Amino acid sequence: MLGRFPSRTIIIICLLIAIGSLFLRNIVYIGHSRVSGTQVGKEQQAGSAPIILAYNERPPYYITSNDHVLSGLIGEIALSAFRRSGLPYTLQKMPPKRQMNNVENNHERLCALGWFKTPEREEFASFSLPLYQDLPTVVVTRADITFSPPALTLAELFKRTDLTLLVQSGYSYGPYVDEALRQHNPASVTTTGNATEMLEMIDSGKADYFFAATEEANEAITASRNPNHFHLILPRDMPLGNHRYFMCSKQVTPEEIGQLNAAITAENNAKGRVLPDQ
């Protein structure tokens, strides 16, 4: 069959085959580039996926109504900030330990509402500007426990070896109280319960006192079965209340944190709230 074609034709055919081979190799290479490009595109698109806003039912900060509307001291501020930012989000109830685990392990695009900022948490999480400042932290204790002097310091409180502190597992009480706890190491027991459950433990004598922000303590005592069984002590060396932030996983980009911060600032200005810019 080849003998029917002139040698020049055979040479041209060979050249065309060689050029075609090179072309096909280039197509394969370009195809791999497109796959990589598609993967990058998916990563970029992941940045626009809804951010999970995780919260735990915790009056007066987060309150879910019967028709599933989130309100509360921080809940309303958080939702207003996200709506103003234009970032897509979904609300999800989530236990505090799971919130922390998801943020620390960067499992998903998630911002946990109203967490304290600590050096340890800053190693794995991104924090927004402050959303809210608590009233001062108080000591919640039984009404039959007295202190002398009544307005004692934390150091004086921790010298009471007859008292047992009730500590929430995984919680920070802010830098001042956290450092005092590390320094004095008072006798304590740990719980995963909420403020209402902690009051019941105090009332039953399983522990003697715990720390809480003033507004949360008042809310819990008012809602308890025996509000007269408790009272609040404000240590005289207790600083102003702690700030609460969005604590976000690293899957939430710095640009999105910037959008969120701009929205928080705008919300604060609109409502006349004065909070620090860090």
- Asked if 150 and 195 sit in the same domain, the reply is yes
Tell me: pLDDT of 29 over 60: no
204: in domain: yes
Enclosing domain of residue 117: 51-133+243-271
Q: What is the dihedral of CA 98, 102, 105, 111, to 10 degrees?
A: -140
> 117-150: per-residue pLDDT in tens?
999 999 999 999 999 999 999 999 999 999 887 7
- Asked if 184 and 58 sit in the same domain, the reply is no
Residues in a beta bridge with 197 = none
- Asked if 102 and 115 sit in the same domain, the reply is yes
Tell me: pLDDT of 9 over 80: no
Instruction: Residue 259: count other Cβ atoms within 10 Å of its Cβ.
Output: 17
| Helical residues (DSSP H) of the chain, grouped into ranges | 7-46, 75-85, 96-104, 119-122, 154-158, 175-184, 195-203, 214-223, 254-271
Please count the structural domains in the chain: 2
160: in domain: yes
Q: What is the pLDDT of residue 8?
A: 53
Name the residue type at position 78: A
- Asked if 190 and 170 sit in the same domain, the reply is yes
Instruction: Give one DSSP letter per residue of 124-160, joined into a string.
Output: T-EE-S--EEPPPEEEEEETT---SSSS--HHHHHT-
Tell me: pLDDT of 201 over 60: yes
> 234-245: per-residue pLDDT in tens?
999 999 999 999
18: in domain: no
CATH of the domain at 123: 3.40.190.10
4: in domain: no
Q: What is the pLDDT of residue 209?
A: 98
**Region 166-191 average pLDDT:** 96
Tell me: pLDDT of 40 over 90: no
Burial of 253 (0-12, 13-18, 19+ CB in 10 A): middle
35: in domain: no
Tokens 């987060």 belong to which residue?
62
Tell me: pLDDT of 23 over 80: no
- Asked if 198 and 73 sit in the same domain, the reply is no
- Asked if 69 and 126 sit in the same domain, the reply is yes
- Asked if 128 and 61 sit in the same domain, the reply is yes
114: in domain: yes
Percent share of the chain, pLDDT over 90: 77
Quickly state the pLDDT bin for 277 (edges 50, 70, 90): low
Ranking 40-54, 56-70, 160-174 by mean pLDDT, the lowest is: 40-54
- Asked if 148 and 74 sit in the same domain, the reply is no
- Asked if 150 and 228 sit in the same domain, the reply is yes
Q: State how far the alpha carbon of 142 is from the alpha carbons of 2, 131, 148, 203, in Å.
A: 106, 32, 15, 7
- Asked if 92 and 113 sit in the same domain, the reply is yes
